Amino acid sequence: MERFDKWIRRALAVCCEVEGVKPCAAEFAFVSDERMHELNLETRGVDRTTDVLSYPAVSYPKGKTAKDCPKRLSRAYDPEYGMPNLGDVFFSMDRACSQAQEYGHSITREVVFLAVHASLHLLGYDHMEEDERTQMRAMEEKVMEKLGIGRDPMDEHLFLRACEALDNAYVPYSDYRVGACILDAEGREFTGCNIENASYGATICAERTAVACAVSQGSRKFKAIAIAGEKGAAWPCGICRQVLNEFSDNMRVIVGQKGGAFDVVLLSELLPHSFGPEELQEEKA
């Protein structure tokens, strides 16, 4: 879950900024669906699980939000954080994944949206009544736009093509099927699957099969690759990360399990401080 930390921190920071209050802290935790159900029942009397629960530490008068209550905010000052602590938030990862799949966007985007929604609750927003709901929705949109976590319709398409490509995997040794679909700068798509060999080291991963297919047909720059595993999310191995890096200016990497949700990261997150073709060019110069 650490990979969501920086996004959650940014979500809260941008909510505070858009609300017009100084930076505030809050505690965020991922819990199981079972625990969410318990919490929902214990604290709200609702006998089912839910995606996100927020418990504000500050109470706001009706119709008011944090910007209207500077005194209440300063009373919530927490020396541990050196700023006001707005309260606690609990997420269900299971629900975040199923909702991401339902909406056809990444798990990160869903987690960020839930973090924004919860942070706004901690800042005094609600959606019980029509006008409150409209106001909260407008804030959510504003914050999501500022966060810039776009919803690229190609992501789902590439992921579904990678899931299809997985059916051709040749895996008599590992029985671990992987499919990939790569998108080049011209908008062309190429698929690949893992191809194993009795001499194990001769095995080629799905990502590199797709790269070989694309490069051998003239592609030289990639914008995105989707990778689907049959038994779990197949994050690319080290060799594949390096091979992808050869043909990319920081491509999107879409990863997931066939039949499940996918997530999207940038190649630079998977391969920081990479050694690329530019380094060799510089050396020659």
Query: In angstroms, how far apart are the furthest CA atoms of the chain?
Result: 71
Which residues, 6 or more positions from 203, have their beta carbon under 8 angstroms from its beta carbon?
173, 194, 195, 196, 197
Q: Residue 3 has what DSSP assignment?
A: G
Tell me how far, at minimum, the Cβ of 236 lies from ligand THU, in Å. 4
Query: How many amino acids of this chain bind ligand THU (CB under 6 A)?
Result: 14
Q: What CA–CA distance (Å, rounded) separates 21 from 237?
A: 43
Q: Which of 220, 237, 228 is nearest to 263 (CA)?
A: 228
Q: Which residues sit opposite 124 in a β-bridge?
A: none
User: Which H or E element spans position 75?
Assistant: helix 70-75
Q: Which residues sit opposite 252 in a β-bridge?
A: 224, 266
Assess 245 for contact with ligand THU (CB under 6 A): no
Tell me how far, at minimum, the Cβ of 239 lies from ligand THU, in Å. 8
Assess 196 for contact with ligand THU (CB under 6 A): yes
Assess 194 for contact with ligand THU (CB under 6 A): yes
Tell me how far, at minimum, the Cβ of 72 lies from ligand THU, in Å. 51
Q: What is the b/e burial string over 78-108, where b = at least 16 CB atoms within 10 angstroms of the residue's CB?
A: eeeeebbbbbbbbbbbbbbbbbbbeeebbbb
Assess 236 for contact with ligand THU (CB under 6 A): yes
Task: Name the catalytic one among 186, 207, 279, 283.
Answer: 207
Assess 267 for contact with ligand THU (CB under 6 A): no
Which parts of 152-181 interact with ligand THU (CB under 6 A)? Answer: 171, 174, 176, 178
Assess 207 for contact with ligand THU (CB under 6 A): yes
Q: Pick from 115, 143, 211, 240 the residue near ligand THU by CB under 6 A.
A: 240
Q: Cβ closer to ligand THU: 128 or 202? A: 202
Q: Cβ closer to ligand THU: 236 or 256? A: 236
Print the SS3 string covering 99-150.
HHHHHCCCHHHHHHHHHHHHHHHHCCCCCCCHHHHHHHHHHHHHHHHHHCCC
Assess 268 for contact with ligand THU (CB under 6 A): no
Token pair 């080629």 is found at 204
Tell me how far, at minimum, the Cβ of 226 lies from ligand THU, in Å. 12
User: Can 207 be counted among the known catalytic residues?
Assistant: yes
Residues recognised as catalytic: 207
Binding site for ligand THU (CB under 6 A): 171, 174, 176, 178, 194, 196, 203, 205-207, 234, 236-237, 240
